[in-house]
């Protein structure tokens, strides 16, 4: 079995693969203050919950956007499985041709998502990830990563707004009955849900205009389920896109 770990700013998502089958997905909070032993204990507890033994894993792979935790989490995985995980980074075989100004700056999450999207839908394609940050990655012909855009995530933007506006407060991420809100709560919800959906639609049109053609649009991330129903056009949702990308990369790099 394979342990795939996607380490984000808010959550660490772990997936257990048996061959190409994703058997389990579980999440723990990202916390740079936690030690190796604490992460190891959490993983062991979750494995036991699913009646898994750490010795069953033949390998592990990690993608991370939290460099301060790279060694901590990799050490925790090696401590309980006996296997040093592959950390996605420069030199990792992915099958993606990176054509941005500084390839070393490309986030591992963007690269991993592109790998999975190309595997499922081919290239060219556009990949949206709605998490702590909202990101869009554009893969052109011949698996070429062209670039993209980074925006504040929906929940991140709301937290910033609430902390800087005395009369505003946190709201649930659900769509109000109409775009035109009649109270503070519905106004904020309209901005979060419909505003983000309109931004995605508008960015897709601009991307297609620059490319000169349309592509499949793949959407993933923790907030995608709330936003996607209000977007226009055909968008493909894949909650486990990054885990699948990690599995594919592991197979490409397995000795």
Which ranges in the chain belong to alpha helices (H)? Answer: 36-49, 70-81, 108-121, 154-164, 184-190, 196-211, 224-227, 241-253
Catalytic positions, written as ranges: 109
Beta bridge partners of 25: 15
Verify cis geometry, omega within 30 degrees of 0, for the bond prior to 124. yes
Can you tell me the distance from the alpha carbon of 181 to that of 246, in angstroms, rounded to the nearest whole number?
A: 41
Beta bridge partners of 62: 5, 87
Count of beta carbons in the 10 Å neighbourhood of residue 82: 10
How is residue 248 written in tokens? 């594919």
How is residue 205 written in tokens? 């049109």
| Contact predicate 15/32, CB 8 Å | no
């Amino acid at each position: 079995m394979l342990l795939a770990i996607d380490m984000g700013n808010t959550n660490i998502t772990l997936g257990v693969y048996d061959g190409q089958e994703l058997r389990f997905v579980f999440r723990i909070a990202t916390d740079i203050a936690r030690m190796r032993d604490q992460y190891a204990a959490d993983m062991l507890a979750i494995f036991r919950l699913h009646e898994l033994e750490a010795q069953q894993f033949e390998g592990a792979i990690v993608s991370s956007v939290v460099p301060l935790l790279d060694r901590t989490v990799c050490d925790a995985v090696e401590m309980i499985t006996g296997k040093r995980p592959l950390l996605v980074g420069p030199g990792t075989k992915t099958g993606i041709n990176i054509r941005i100004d500084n390839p070393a700056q490309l986030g591992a999450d963007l690269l991993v998502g592109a790998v999975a999207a190309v595997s499922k839908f081919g290239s060219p394609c556009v990949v949206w990830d709605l998490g702590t940050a909202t990101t869009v990655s554009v893969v052109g012909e011949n698996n070429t990563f062209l670039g993209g855009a980074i925006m504040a995530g929906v929940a991140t933007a709301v937290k910033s707004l609430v902390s800087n506006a005395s009369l505003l407060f946190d709201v649930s991420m659900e769509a109000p009955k109409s775009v035109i809100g009649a109270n503070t709560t519905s106004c904020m919800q309209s901005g979060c849900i419909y505003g983000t959906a309109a931004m995605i639609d508008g960015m897709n049109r601009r991307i297609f205009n620059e490319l000169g053609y349309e592509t499949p649009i793949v959407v993933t991330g923790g907030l995608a389920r709330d936003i996607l129903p209000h977007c226009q056009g055909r968008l493909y949702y894949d909650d486990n896109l990054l885990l699948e990308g990690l599995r594919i990369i592991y197979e490409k790099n397995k000795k």
